Structure 1
Amino acid sequence: MAVIAHLRIPAASFELGRILELEASGTVELENMVPLGEKAVPFFSVSDEVRESFEENVENHPSVERIIEVTRHDAERLYSLEWNVGRDVFLQGIVDLQGQLLSATGTVRTWEFEIRFPTHETLSEFQEYCSNAHIPLEVGRIYNPVRPGTGIWYGVTQAQRETLVRAVQGGYYSIPRQMSTQDLADELGISDQAVTERLRRAIETLTTNTLIAMEEELDEEFEPAQES
C-alpha cells in the first residue's frame, strides 16, 4: 500500500540543492519536474529579493546547461532548469525506487520534500539507499493516503491547498464561472500560469492519493485467487 513521507535533508547534500544555492532570506518552491528523455526539467519559483544572486549562482554552476525565466508576476518568478538529473544521487534514488515527488521547498540550509512511495518497504529501501550514499535524511510524518484520519491533506501542499480552496470558494468551478484564473492569480499574488499549475497538481495529487489509490487497493483485495 502506498505511503507518503515528509523528508528533510541539508541543501548541500544533493546536487539540485547545491545548484539552487540561496541567500539567507530566500526560498525556492519546486512547482513541477517534467521528464524529458534522460533528463528531468524542474520548474521552480523564486522571490525577486534574491533573484539576481540566485540567477548568477545557478548560471555559473558546472552542472547547469540552461536556466530560463518562464514567467514573472509581482515579486515572484518562475524558472525552468536544464540539467542532468542522473548526477543527483538523491533525486535519482527517488526515480529508481518509483517514488513520486509531490512537493519540495528549499532554504539556504535545508530542503523539505513530500514523496509518495509505492509501499512502506520501498520507503525503507530509500532510507537505506540514502544512508549508503551518506545523505543525512530526516524522516518526519509518514502516512497512508488512503486511510481516513491519517494524512488529512492527502499529499497536497499548503500552496496548492490554498489555491484550490480559494478557487472553489470563489466560484472558479461554478457554472457559470464566477472567478477567472487571472482573478485568482491577483488574489494570491502569483502568475496565472502558477495558478493553473497548482490547481492541476492539486487535483492530480488528490485523485491519485484517494480515488485511484482506493481502487487499486480494492482490486488487489478482491482479486480472484489463482487456481492451482
Structure 2
Amino acid sequence: MSVITELALPTGAFQLGRMLSRVGDIQVTLETLLPFGDRSVLLFHTSAPTRESFEAYVRTQPSVAELTVVSVHDDRTLYRLDWTPDDHTFLDSVLSLDGHVLEATGGLDTWVFKLRFRSHDAFSSFQEACSKADHPIDVRRIYNPTTPDAGPWHGLTKPQHETLRYAVENGYYSLPREISTQEIADEFGISDQAVSERLRRAIETLVLTTLLPEAEE
C-alpha cells in the first residue's frame, strides 16, 4: 500500500533550495518536476517581490541551462527551469525510488515536502538513502492515504483538488468539452501547461490512492 510522508529540509541542504530560495523574502512552490536524462525540467511559481534580482541570481547558477518566464499574474510568476542536478541529490533519492513529489514549498530557511511512495519499504529505502547522503530530513508525518487522517481529498493537494473540481464542474471532461485549459488557467492565474500537468497529477494521485490500494488488498 502506498504511503505519504510530510517532511522538512533546510534550504541550504539541497541543490534546488540553494538555487531558488537564497534571494530575499521569497516563497517558491513546485508545480512539476520532469527528469530528462542528465537534465531536469521544473515548473515552479514564486511570490518574489523583486523578480529581477531573483532571476539574475538563478541564471548565474552553474547547473542552470535556462530560466524562462511562463506567465505573470499579479505578484505570482510561473517559471520553467532547465537544469542539471548534481549527483546524489535529495530529489534524485526521491525519483530513483519511484517516489512522487505531491507538494513542495520553500523559503529562505526551510522547504516542506509532501512525498508519496508505493510502499513502506520504498519509504524506508528513501530514509536510508537520505541518511547515507547526509540529507538532514525532518519527518513530520507518515500515513496511508486511505486512512481516516489522510484528509478529505485522498492525497490531493489543495491546488490539485480545486483545479480538478473546477474542471469537472465546468464541463472539461464533458463531450463535447465545455471549457478549455486556457479558461481554467485564467481562473487560477497559471498557464494552460500548468493546468494540464496539475490535472494529470491529480488523476494519477486519485488512482494510486483509491483504486490501486483496493487491488493490492
Q: Which residue pairs with 2:2 in the alignment? A: 2
Q: Kindly provide the CA deviation profile for residues 33-79 of structure 1, in whole angstroms up to 9, marking residues without a partner as x.
A: 11212222211122352421211111111222222223444433322
Q: Which residue pairs with 1:149 in the alignment? A: 148
SS in 1 for 2:49: helix
RMSD: 2.3
TM-score by length of 1: 0.82
**1:174 Cα offset (Å):** 4.3
TM-score by length of 2: 0.86
| Sequence identity percentage | 48
Q: Which residue pairs with 1:97 in the alignment? A: 97
Does the 8 Å contact 1:16/1:88 carry over to 2? no
Q: How does 1:61-80 map to 2 (within 5 A)?
A: 61-80=61-80
2:187 & 2:22 partners in 1: Cα distance? 27
**1:5 Cα offset (Å):** 0.7
Q: Structure 1 unaligned runs (5+)?
A: 219-228
SS in 1 for 2:4: strand
The letter for the 2-side match of 1:131 is S
Residues 191 and 48 of structure 1, relative CA distance in 2, 3 Å threshold: farther
Q: Structure 2 unaligned runs (5+)?
A: none
Q: Kindly provide the CA deviation profile for residues 133-156 of structure 1, in whole angstroms up to 9, marking residues without a partner as x.
A: 2222111221112x3424133331
Q: Kindly provide the CA deviation profile for residues 97-136 of structure 1, in whole angstroms up to 9, marking residues without a partner as x.
A: 2322222111121111111122212222322332332222
Larger Rg: 1
Q: How does 1:110-125 map to 2 (within 5 A)?
A: 110-125=110-125
Q: Which residue pairs with 2:168 in the alignment? A: 168
Does the 8 Å contact 2:30/2:44 carry over to 1? yes
Q: Which residue pairs with 2:59 in the alignment? A: 59
